[in-house]
Amino acid sequence: MSESLSPDMKSFEFRGNAKEWFGIWIVNLLLSIVTFGIYSAWAKVRTKKYFYNNTFVEGRNFDYHATGKQILIGRLIVIAAIVVFQVASVLTPFAALGLLVVLLIAFPFLIVRSLMFNARMSSFSNVRFGFDGTAGKAALLFLLYPILVAFTLYTTFPMLDRAIKRYTVNNHKLGQACFNVEVALGPFYKAFLIALVWIFVVGGVGVVLTGFSFMEFAMAMDDPGGDPAQFGAVMALFYLLIFAAFLPAGFLYQALTRNAVYNSATLEGGHRFASNVNPWMLLWIALSNTAVVICTLFLMLPWAQVRMARYLADHTGFAPGSSLDSFVTQQTGGAGAVGDAYTDLEGVDVGLPI
Amino acid sequence: MSAALRFAGHAFAAGSSRREPAMFEMRELATGNRVELLDEARNSICSANLNELRIDPPLGSAPRKLWFPDGTVFETEAHDAVETLTGETRGSLLHRYERFSPHLIAVIAACVLIGLIIWRFGLDLLVAAAIAATPVAVIEQIDVGTMETIDYTIAEPSGLSDADRARVLQIFDRLIGKLPADMQERHDFKLLFRDLPGMGPNAFALPGGTMVMTDAFVEDFGTPDIIASVLGHEIGHVVEEHGLQRLYRSLAIFVLITLLAGDVGPVLEDIVLEGQLLLSLSFDRDQERSADVFGMTLAHRANYDPSGLKTFFERLSEEYGDSTPQWMSTHPSNADRIRAIETFVEGL
């Protein structure tokens, strides 16, 4: 499952460390708290800059160029919109429906703007990235297709995921050079199957081991008036099983598809990428990270973030096909930060994870 | 003339990934400080006055970047040299506070302390300010809009007799009359009757002062004392602005958590949001207890017997039981409330 990177591939390098990052992180947190969240815009810039600046490929690093002010304005606009929506939905609930329709129409544009903003504000070796995907395609991928996939009971989910990854990668550029990914459908279905197997095996074993009974659960949901301790126990067991069955399956799927995508990704100029993330290792890191972070009341979060960043960098490879000196930033109009703030606040995950 | 300061790094042409090793040299001239980038053959790449440079603030031990007016970028690991160049800036102060040393313990403590203070007081202040800033017309519209939805979806016109309604309205008017004059002015109190099948005996209040009592309530609990105590409780919700508090509070908490938590990963963000949901339920329960006390005080002042509330909860317990465990409920348990009522009545 985890072959080592082929000899022509050099791995990425993460040079940050937990001690250094902890200081920055905790001061970020204090300043954000003291300013009721206003400083969080600058904190986000500092965070991204830290991780980008400390990620090296062939001795060159990344950088992030957005300013705190841009991020703050974008966030304020989005917060204002959320407040207006909440208040309007209480004022005249029919207006809320109208606003929802507006949001649905705006959604693909916001996603595209977010990708454009993030790309333009990121650079590698002094050259900015770019994104030129269309809102129309985004509307299909993020609004229409998910509904169709639901109709097929998610059996076509890997097709959608592959389409999204192709859309994201193929429309990104570094300067004038385009990224490209030619990945078959097979690896996606394989990953999907493995995830499903995990869900059923762990779910099944879990139910047998803990004596969880669906009958008990159904009864508890129907008549919560029963013994509250028993009700709590059944609910807790239910959540635990969901946690143990579905969450790791998600990680396994992400790791396997990441490998497939990176291993067939290229950058104009003959450059190739690779990824040999071990899904079990990734799962272990994610779970142990969560456990440690919770037990230390979030104080070890910076350590966990560095640990994950280092693992991912160590298992991402790059083979240059020509000189890295030949990239040139493309001159285009600037992109506003509203789209980015929207996907930020609503937790929409559209970025290209490193 | 020899350079006052020189250190090595790499120079990038504007917007290009092409880099070459370069030397940064600064000379102190009568006209100001002049800086120049020289390549390995000591040819000039570019030059500028020191005050025309943009120098990125320090961040951990990442390489420093200096931006020249023509777009050339100079990247260097010579941190001390750059510090000498910029002197002490806000950025370098921040950098100093971020270094890993025992003083961070104070930073952690400050985070916790200030975080708790904001949670305890700051949030209430924010919410109070938001409520004060909300125009009365908006609050009244909330009532109108909500009633429209309820009437459109789940409510039927009331089936109570005119006599029953008049009886309840009389109790209602007596209660309102006992409120201070300015309180009566500030809210538009009115009592509406609806048949809400499936909701059982229930009464609720909207932020602007509109109150609804279900037919089932009047039919099951027709005694004046019970009606007075429960209406008093609902009036309490209006006077103490509980509805608006909950609305603004949940908005503020969502925004603050999303802003502060930043990128902690999907698992932890979910856990934090669920956690704050449980905490806000305790806030809801406090509101219910406060409304109980207000209701009983008002009923007593209008010459009704406040232990009517106790009878109500006792009958409720018998017929419906406690439906959810207290820790995940918006209301304190019936047993809890009965005890509080007994304490209150004794105190009268």
Neighbour-count burial for A159-197, b at 16+ CB within 10 Å, e otherwise: bbbbbbbbbbbbbbbbbebbbebebeeebbbebbebbee
From A19, A127, A299, residue closest to B108, measured CB to CB: A299
User: pLDDT over 90 for what percent of chain A?
Assistant: 50
| Ramachandran angles phi, psi of B25, nearest 5° | -130, 135
The ipTM, to two decimals, is 0.83
Q: List the 255-284 stretch of B: residues with Cβ below 8 A of A.
A: 255-256, 258-260, 262-269, 271
Which residue type, as a one-letter code, is found at position A215? M
Average pLDDT, chain B: 86
**pLDDT of amino acid A80:** 83
A20 and B CB contact within 8 Å:
yes
Non-local CB neighbours of A94 within 8 Å, separated by 6+ positions: B148
Q: Strand, coil or helix: what is A153?
A: coil
- Interface mutation target, options B70, B117, B143, B258, chain A, most CBs of A under 10 Å: B258
pLDDT at A37 over 60: yes
Distance CA A131, CA A119 (A): 6
Higher pLDDT pick, A57 / A211: A57
Sign of CA dihedral B168, B169, B170, B175: positive
Does the pTM surpass 0.90? The reply is no
* Cα separation, A193 vs A262, whole angstroms: 20
**Measured between alpha carbons, how far is B235 from B209 in angstroms, rounded to an integer?**
8
**How confident is the model over A328-338, as a mean pLDDT?**
67
- Where residue A352 falls among pLDDT bands split at 50, 70, 90? very low
Residues of A in contact with B265 (CB under 8 A): 286, 289-290
Q: Nearest Cβ partner of B324 from A94, A224, A294?
A: A224
Q: Which residues, listed in sequence order, are joined to residue B157 by a DSSP beta bridge?
A: B194
- Helix, coil or strand: residue B192: strand
Of A184-193, A218-227, A342-351, B38-47, the least confident = A342-351
Q: Which of A57-61, A193-197, B202-206, B277-281 has the lowest mean pLDDT?
A: B277-281
Q: Is the pLDDT of residue A333 over 60?
A: no
Using a CB-CB cut-off of 8 Å, the residues of chain B touching A231 are: 325
pLDDT of amino acid B333: 78
Each residue of B95-119: pLDDT tens digit?
A: 988 988 899 999 999 988 988 888 7
Cα(A154)–Cα(A162) distance, integer angstroms:
14
Cβ <8 Å between B268 and A293? yes
Q: Is the confidence at residue B183, as pLDDT, over 60?
A: yes
Dihedral in degrees, nearest 10, Cα atoms A171, A126, A65, A141: 10
**pLDDT for B327:** 63
Question: Mind giving me the DSSP string for B113-157?
Answer: HHHHHIIIIIHHHHHHHHHHHS-HHHHHHHHHHHHHHHHHHT-EE
How far apart CA B109 and CA B312 sit, in angstroms, is 47
What is the three-class DSSP state of A63?
Answer: strand
Question: Which of B18, B256, B324 has the CB atom closest to A325's CB atom?
Answer: B18
Q: What angle do CA A126, A130, A136 make, to 5 degrees?
A: 175
- Ramachandran region, residue B7 (left: φ > 0; alpha: ψ -120 to 50; beta: rest): beta
Which residues of chain A have a CB within 8 Å of the CB of B322? 225, 228
B192 strand-pairing partners? B212
pLDDT of A351 above 60? no
> Cα separation of A26 and A298, whole Å?
10
Question: pLDDT at position A346, please?
Answer: 56
Q: Do A290 and B97 touch (CB under 8 A)?
A: no
Tell whether the model's pLDDT for residue B191 goes beyond 50.
yes
> With contact defined as beta carbons under 8 Å apart, do B212 and B144 qualify?
no
Length of chain B: 348
Q: Tokens 């009566």 correspond to what residue?
A: B184
Position A226 scores a pLDDT of 56
Q: Over the stretch B145-167, which tens digit does the pLDDT of each residue have?
A: 888 888 888 888 988 899 989 99
> Does residue A96 surpass a pLDDT of 80?
no
Assess whether pLDDT exceeds 60 at residue A218.
Answer: yes
Residue pair A104/A70 in contact (Cβ under 8 Å)? The answer is: no
pLDDT beyond 70 at A228:
no
In 3D, which of B75, B209, B203 has the Cα closest to residue B143? B209
Helix (H, G, I), strand (E, B) or coil at A275: strand
**pLDDT tens digits, A230-283:** 666 777 777 777 778 888 898 899 999 999 999 999 999 999 999 999 999 999
pLDDT higher than threshold 70 for residue A229: no
Residues in chain A, total: 354
Q: Which residue of A has its CA nearest to B59?
A: A50
- CA dist., res. A194 & res. A249, Å (int): 8
In DSSP terms, B47 is beta-bridged to B36
- At B151, list the tokens: 């009437």
Cβ within 8 Å of residue A174, ≥6 positions away: A124, A127, A129, A130, A267, A327
Q: What pLDDT shows up at residue A345? A: 58
Q: Is 70 exceeded by the pLDDT of residue A221?
A: no
Return the DSSP state at B209: S
Those residues whose C-beta lies under 8 Å from the C-beta of residue A248, and which sit 6 or more positions away, are: A198, A202, A283, A287
- Compare A151 and B272 and report the one with higher pLDDT: A151
d(CA A216, CA A210): 13
B interface test, pick of A34, A36, A65, A303 with most B CB neighbours within 10 Å: A36
- Tell me if B213 sits within 8 A of B168, measured CB to CB: yes
- A324: closest CA among A51, A64, A62? A62
Chain A hits for B108, Cβ within 8 Å: 26, 299
Whole-number Cα distances in Å, B205 to A122, B230, B243, B332: 52, 11, 8, 18
More confident residue, B152 or B73: B73
Per-residue pLDDT, A336: 63
A84 touching chain B per CB within 8 A: no
Confidence at A349, pLDDT banded by 50, 70, 90: very low
Task: List, for residues B285-329, the tens digit of each pLDDT value.
Answer: 889 999 999 998 998 888 888 888 888 888 877 876 665 666 667
In contact, A111 and A142? CB cutoff 8 Å: yes
Percent of chain A with pLDDT over 70: 86
Token pair recorded at residue A73? 């304005």
Contacts of B94 in chain A (CB under 8 A): 27
Going by C-alpha positions, the residue among B194, B210, B168 that lies closest to residue B202 is: B194
Backbone angles phi and psi of B9, in degrees to 5:
-175, -155
Which B residues 125-154 touch A at CB under 8 Å? 126, 138, 141-142, 145-146, 148-149
* Minimal CA separation from A52 to chain B, in Å: 10
**Among A118-132, A296-310, B39-53, B313-327, which stretch is predicted with the lowest mean pLDDT?**
B313-327
Give me the pLDDT at residue A354, please. 36
Is the torsion defined by CA of A112, A117, A122, A123 positive or negative? positive
How far apart, in whole angstroms, are the C-alpha atoms of residue B333 and residue B285?
A: 9
Winning range, highest mean pLDDT, from A54-68, B199-213, B328-342: A54-68
- Interface contact B42, partner A, CB < 8 A: no
* pLDDT average, residue stretch A336-352: 58
Q: With beta carbons less than 8 A apart as the criterion, state whether B118 and A38 touch.
A: no
Write out chain A residues lying below 8 Å of B70, CB-based: none
